[in-house]
Amino acid sequence: TGAIYKAASSSTGNYTLGQLPPGTYDLFVVMPSFATYRKPGVVIQAGQKLRLDIQLEDTGALNTLGDGRAFFNDIRGVHEVPSGPAPRTPDGRPDFSAVWHAMRDADPDAEIAAEKPPAMPWAAALAKKRTESNGKDSPGVRCLPTSVQLMSLFWLNKVVQTPTLLLIISEGAVPAVRQIFLDGRGHPPDLDPTWLGYSTGKWEGDTLVVDTIGFNDKAWIAPGNFPHTEKLRMITRIRRPDLGHLEFETTYEDPETFTKPWAVRQVADLAPGEEIWEYICNENNQDAEHMVGK
């Protein structure tokens, strides 16, 4: 029917959806770094109580200390953050400079919306194949840039802001640094396509609007494992509404991949006391041999 039903988990991880009408449902559970759980054709009879015990299988995670289920559960959760107004720079702009936790979904329906973006049939089919094979062909498996968004979905991020340049340093990313030029320049006329594109930014009030073009077609779009072409344009609107949060609204425009622009909302929590550490992907990389798909 397209209706969305919401439920909050208990402390033991139980969910109860008590308002579902009778019918047949396709059930899926999406959690980054775990294999997507799918159970099609779940039949709910009138007045019936149905219990499902869902176990998420490991995929990219090795389930070792620092790379296991507890780690990925923590980085994707909501963190306690200090309260207060957002700091400002000497020129009056919101100051994004800080260390931030990995971006997470800004609302409970974000993953549901990410399942069915306005993708063309070829792109939807490829995304489905990538997801069902547990991401075994992800560029990140081979220590290449995994996805195109400005900040990491898995690791700590450090933002360094100056009047003319914004740097985003992502722990665990390859490469680790994104440059966003704030000096008023436009995009170069003849860009060579690159993994992460070329980013310029301008202020609209307290919102920084980042315009990124010049992508090659090799990285993925997360969430959803979607492909893109060299015509991708990524518009990211960044706000710091208070001391503890950094908000992102990213719109993907690619006329050869999507039938219309696709917007995704995410938020990062402040990580006081944390710091970025060195990460060398090629050193002891064991991903490739474990990414066997289905």
Instruction: For residue 288, count other CB atoms closer than 10 A to its CB.
Output: 11
* Average pLDDT over every residue of 72-83: 77
Specify if 273 maps to a domain.
yes
Specify if 142 maps to a domain.
yes
Q: Which of 197, 195, 201 is nearest to 182 (CA)?
A: 201
State how far the Cα of 226 lies from the Cα of 128, in Å rounded to an integer. 8
User: For the whole model, what pTM was predicted?
Assistant: 0.80
Question: 106-130 pLDDT, tens per residue?
Answer: 665 555 444 468 999 999 999 989 8
Span of 125-129, 192-196, 281-285 with lowest mean pLDDT: 281-285
The counts of H helices and E strands in the chain are 4, 12
Question: 248-274 pLDDT, tens per residue?
Answer: 999 999 999 999 999 999 999 999 999
State how far the Cα of 43 lies from the Cα of 57, in Å rounded to an integer. 24
Per-residue b or e along 10-43, where b marks 16 or more CB atoms closer than 10 Å to that residue's CB: eeeeeeeeeeeeeeebeeebbebbbbbeeeeeee
Say which DSSP state 173 is in. -
Alpha helices in the chain (DSSP H): 69-75, 110-115, 121-132, 287-290
Specify if 72 maps to a domain.
no
Q: What is the tally of structural domains in the chain? A: 1
Does position 218 have pLDDT exceeding 80, yes or no? yes
Specify if 67 maps to a domain.
no
The answer to whether residues 176 and 279 touch, using CB atoms and an 8 Å cutoff, is: yes
Span of 21-25, 61-65, 118-122, 166-170 with lowest mean pLDDT: 61-65
* Average pLDDT over every residue of 202-231: 95
Quote the mean pLDDT of the chain.
86
Q: pLDDT: is 209 or 6 the higher one?
A: 209
Specify if 65 maps to a domain.
no
Q: pLDDT band for position 76 (50/70/90)? A: low
Specify if 121 maps to a domain.
yes
- Provide CB contacts within 8 A for 64, sequence distance 6+: none
Specify if 55 maps to a domain.
no
Question: 27-41 pLDDT, tens per residue?
Answer: 877 666 667 788 888
The answer to whether residues 176 and 170 touch, using CB atoms and an 8 Å cutoff, is: yes
Span of 134-138, 156-160, 218-222, 286-290 with lowest mean pLDDT: 286-290
* Residue 142 pLDDT: 87
Give me the domain span that covers residue 247: 80-290
Specify if 205 maps to a domain.
yes
Written as six digits, the tokens of 93 are 């702009």
* Residue 241 pLDDT: 97
Q: Tell me the β-bridge partners of 37.
A: 29
